[in-house]
Structure 1
């Protein structure tokens, strides 16, 4: 049965009237490269993507820019929807620190990648397993934290990731001790058909480690392909964006349909929000 979404939460089946669109980011044109002067080369001592803790520096990392880098920086991070995306400072069980991205789906719940909250196969003594803590900084813009930060030690993921490290189940959640989501807002989410996804434009915004520390960057492209568990797209991302939302815009509302987690030679990919993922997200939100 079709069920219209309430603000910030998608029903199990969404009204498909309306069209996908891009965010209104000033100066953004898909496929148009940044000028060399606007690309920031970070210091070598910047914190690294949490994906490296589980996967090392070889693929499948989330740091893949295909062809021209047409990402645009979001400087108005204190307004919706950008404030619903959070820069994450992750402290692993061994005390090492890493970066990632998360996004609110409710008053006290953020979605992210499974490997953000639970590290697998690092090869480093004492590092694997649940991370120790995550500092959540919504709408961060460099050194500016317009909504402050909150630190969480309460996480969720599924056994497909914790037991098997299976990329098809690489998604998780962060439960905050405060209702910061009521201040910054959140994204809806939905389980869509193959045909709907193939016709969709995917939007991704997060905190890549190849740009100035703590700055938010956006890109968008039409979805390239899907399978039963993954969504593939040629949207430029970089390490640090593990856990970003891949979302569409329908009738002015934003609905995530995947959780960004991996890079690739020709396309990047995210864990698809299927019906079981959707149900877990609703449970974690509650």
Structure 2
């Protein structure tokens, strides 16, 4: 019953009235590992990494209950240059006590072939100027070496490490799983994306649910969930009443006439675990339910009920 209430509450809050490649896991490098050159990154204008991707009418809904779980686990990222000037923003999601999932292009600048930011301020549950949990600066961040070498969208994910669990002790975090194709192709999987789009008032959280993915491929998830620059790095998770409720299954990274993100398969999961092994952080991985069992998000319904 509580799971059913969650779905109804989330629906009220958010529902409106590729190419094949091979992956290799456990390879990447972190911001702390880069070669020290002493060079200052060139100044860049403020902006985001991808084009807007609202498909047809904009059906995104603003999330105002940003202090309530699971929205509290969604963080606004301020990307700063070496002078402390904010030049861009992205979205990340807590997937462990000191680890956040985001897109690779939020961390690595393919044009400069270097880290895009010198500092990253993580602000969970931000709602305009209101920052209910405060903020922390990331102590390290990581991308797959394949993304750093090629900038290919096939490898567009990254992990951010915080110095401790002070933020997540208050916000909570979402768990990550490797979901089988048959689960992802469920016509009532209810894929959900919540983040911080740059085409809305600065620092406000917006989201949308669809009943199903448009297509599920081996390494990519396709959907018509409206997004915009700034939402890059948002976790893709299920709002379905069932065993996948609240589980992260992908990372939103690209938008065009059809939006897409990286599907979390076994190799990508191994990359995330390798990132935290290298940076000494922790990711909450759970096994995909087989056979399905109820997922224990007992407080979800109350947490995301809206006024």
Residues 95, 101 of structure 2: 8 Å contact kept? yes
Say if 2:186 is the partner of 1:194: no
Residues 247, 256 of structure 1: 8 Å contact kept? yes
Equivalenced residue count is: 239
Change (3 A) 1:27 1:90: closer
Per-residue CA shift, 1:59-87, capped at 9, x if unaligned? xx252111121111010101100010000
2-structure distance, mates of 1:211, 1:84? 20
274-283 or 142-151: which moved more? 274-283
Query: What SS does structure 1 have at the residue aligned with 2:226?
Result: coil
Structure 2 counterpart of 1:211: 200
Residues 13, 63 of structure 2: 8 Å contact kept? no
Change (3 A) 1:205 1:28: closer
Residues 62, 242 of structure 1: 8 Å contact kept? no
Unmatched 5+ residue regions in structure 1? 1-17, 33-45, 52-60
Change (3 A) 1:65 1:174: same
Question: TM-score, length-normalised on structure 1?
Answer: 0.77
Residue 133 of structure 2 is aligned with which of 144, 147, 150?
Answer: 147
Structure 2 counterpart of 1:262: 254
1-structure distance, mates of 2:181, 2:7? 18
Per-residue CA shift, 1:190-228, capped at 9, x if unaligned? 112222212222100000011010000010111011222
RMSD of aligned residue pairs (Cα, Å): 2.3
Residue 88 of structure 2 is aligned with which of 74, 95, 98?
Answer: 98
Change (3 A) 1:145 1:118: same
Change (3 A) 1:62 1:276: farther
Question: TM-score, length-normalised on structure 2?
Answer: 0.72
Aligned pairs for 1:109-128 within 5 A: 109-122=99-112, 128=114
Structure 1 counterpart of 2:145: 159
Residues 220, 261 of structure 2: 8 Å contact kept? yes
Structure 2 counterpart of 1:42: none
Structure 2 counterpart of 1:13: none
Say if 2:71 is the partner of 1:82: yes
Change (3 A) 1:96 1:168: same
Aligned pairs for 1:131-146 within 5 A: 131-146=117-132
Residues 194, 234 of structure 2: 8 Å contact kept? yes
Residues 138, 163 of structure 2: 8 Å contact kept? yes
1-structure distance, mates of 2:237, 2:13? 20
Change (3 A) 1:190 1:156: same
Structure with more of its chain in strand, by fraction: 1
Say if 2:232 is the partner of 1:242: yes
